[in-house]
Amino acid sequence: MAKTMEQGREQRKIEHVSAVRTLGDNQASSTWFEDVTLLPNCAPELAWDEISLQTELCGFSLPSPVIINAMTGGADEVYEINRRLAAIARRFGLAMAVGSETAALKNPDVAYTYSVVREQHPNGVLLANVGMGTASDVAQAAVDLIGAQLLQVHFNVAQELFMAEGDRDFRGALSRLAEVVEAVDVPVIAKEVGQGIAAQEARQFVDVGVRAIDVGGRGGTNFIAVEAWRRNMQLTQQWMNWGISTAATLSEVVHVVPSDTHVIASGGIRAADEIVKAMALGAKAVGIAGPLVRLLGEPDGDEAVIRYLEELHWGMRTLLALTGSRTWGDLRTRPVVVGGRLKLWLESRGHEAFVQTLHGRGRQF
């Protein structure tokens, strides 16, 4: 029975990667970042070489805000994904998260599919990953497995409900999270996986002591669609659109958490302008996952990912120059114009002050 469960878990890991590659952007909805406009600066008074992409996350200095976010591990067939991405992360100095480590903690035979990330990126910032409700000793084992500096605890209720073999009882997850925060020896990040986090739940995460929140908004890899694909299930538009768009959840969370709780933007962020807009709204870092998995599956996969990341970083620098910003801190003094659905959402949710602050930043007239 135990062997059957392990085999089922490994097969699920393989199917998740296949689903992400097969579905592509067809399962994604809008992130609403198109409703965010950065203010150009036609007289920036800076030089290209002065621009820095450096950011800080939970006490760790990162040369780039881009995190290769949680994706996979736990099966022989996905080992190469983690190995190759970790080598690319080392090349760019990027932080990297692994997928849920439950598979390795239950079956040591697949632990190498996770530990390879530390082998390939020996000096990098790595993020361990466990699910909601995980016991603190198991969470610490996940950290130890890859020598992680940070731990993600993912909350994925929607995915579990659409997963045929998923959990159906979510009681006690917050108290378990509090125990993990207290017990493990690294900062803890509460993370959604594609449906977003509302302000109320963000406050609950802060109350139990997490150091950061990864909003995991709607607009990127949709694990409702992924699990439906695994079951050959046709989804209605209602389920495709379930959740909070990435720009909306990011804004809500940034507005309500204290400044020492860092916020990570993720969920369908694919382009440099979306990264810069997320940072302007208050994110400390930006997680990207699905596009990298898909690019890695191309015939020149490694080179395709490297080109993509080079273009992202060039684009980020260019947009900082175009807004007259040497640093992300400078960018956050520049006005940001919010309109459309995002503005209506934030005002209806009681975040008018956040919108007004964005619009009024740097006003000197």
Asked if pLDDT for residue 27 goes beyond 80, the answer is: no
Asked if pLDDT for residue 14 goes beyond 70, the answer is: no
What are the pLDDT digits (tens) for 221-272?
A: 888 888 888 888 888 888 888 999 999 999 999 999 999 999 999 999 999 9
CA distances to 67, 245, 274, 320 from 359, in Å? 28, 20, 18, 18
Q: Which long-range contacts (CB under 8 A, 24 or more apart) does 232-237 make?
A: 233/162
Six token digits for residue 16: 């998740």
What pLDDT was estimated at residue 232? 85
Asked if pLDDT for residue 300 goes beyond 70, the answer is: yes
Q: How confident is the model at residue 72 (pLDDT cuts 50, 70, 90)?
A: confident
Lowest model confidence (mean pLDDT) among 63-77, 245-259, 273-287: 63-77
What pLDDT was estimated at residue 240? 85
How far, in Å, CA of 24 to CA of 37, rounded? 26
